[in-house]
Every structure is written in structure tokens, then in C-alpha cells.
Copies of this chain bind each other. A is one copy, B any other.
Amino acid sequence: MTESFKKEIVQRIIRNLLDIQILRLIRAQPMWGYRIKKEVETNFDVRLRHGALYPLLNSLETEGFLASQKQQQGGRTRKVYTITNKGKQYIETYANVLKEQIQNKT
């Protein structure tokens, strides 16, 4: 039962806090959309539709959480994202909130 709970909870976190998971991935290593999709799908066993991902990445860049550089791979273009200081602050704050969630028996 605990295993199915775990899968359910992970999926809920991915769905509702997808931007944060993306920031965490990119902080660990700069990445482009297609790669992020594959990482999320294999790491968390959740379907991630590119029709949701690419607009999200663009808005995260517009809001200053991510920055991108175009990278040519032959004739194919990759938009490689790196995390900004603002983005780092956001996930650090997230980690702090989680710590409180675990510690407090509230």
C-alpha cells in the first residue's frame, strides 16, 4: 500500500509543482525541453506532454527563473536552459518549506 501511496504522492507533486521539479533538474545540469521531458518521465514515471512543457519553459524564462541559449546540433536546434539566481532562490525556499513540513508535527 505504501508503494502505491508513494507513486500517487510523487505524481501529485510533479503535476502541481512541475515548475519546481524542472528548476531542480536544470540546476543539477543545464538541459533542453526534450531532455527534460525524458528525464521527468523516466525518473518519476509520469507522462509529461510537450504541449504543456514548452509553454511552461518559455514562461519560466520570461519570469526570470531560467535563461536559455540556442545550441546548434548539426542542423537541429536545442534551446538549452540554465537556472538564474532567482530560480535558485525559489528552489532553496521550496527546500526550506519542505524541511518545516517534515519537522513540525503541527
Residue of B nearest to A105 (CB): B28
With A101-B98, A106-B28 in contact, is A89–B13 under 8 Å at CB? no
Is A6's CB under 8 angstroms from B93's CB? yes
Looking at chain A's contact residues, the main secondary structure is helix
Question: Is A94 in the interface zone, CB < 8 Å from B?
Answer: yes
* Interface pairs A-B: 4 shortest CB-CB: A16-B16, A5-B93, A98-B98, A9-B97
Can you list 18 A-B pairs with a CB-CB distance of less than 8 A? A2-B92, A2-B93, A5-B93, A6-B93, A9-B90, A9-B93, A9-B94, A10-B97, A12-B17, A13-B101, A16-B17, A28-B105, A43-B106, A95-B101, A95-B102, A98-B98, A99-B102, A102-B102
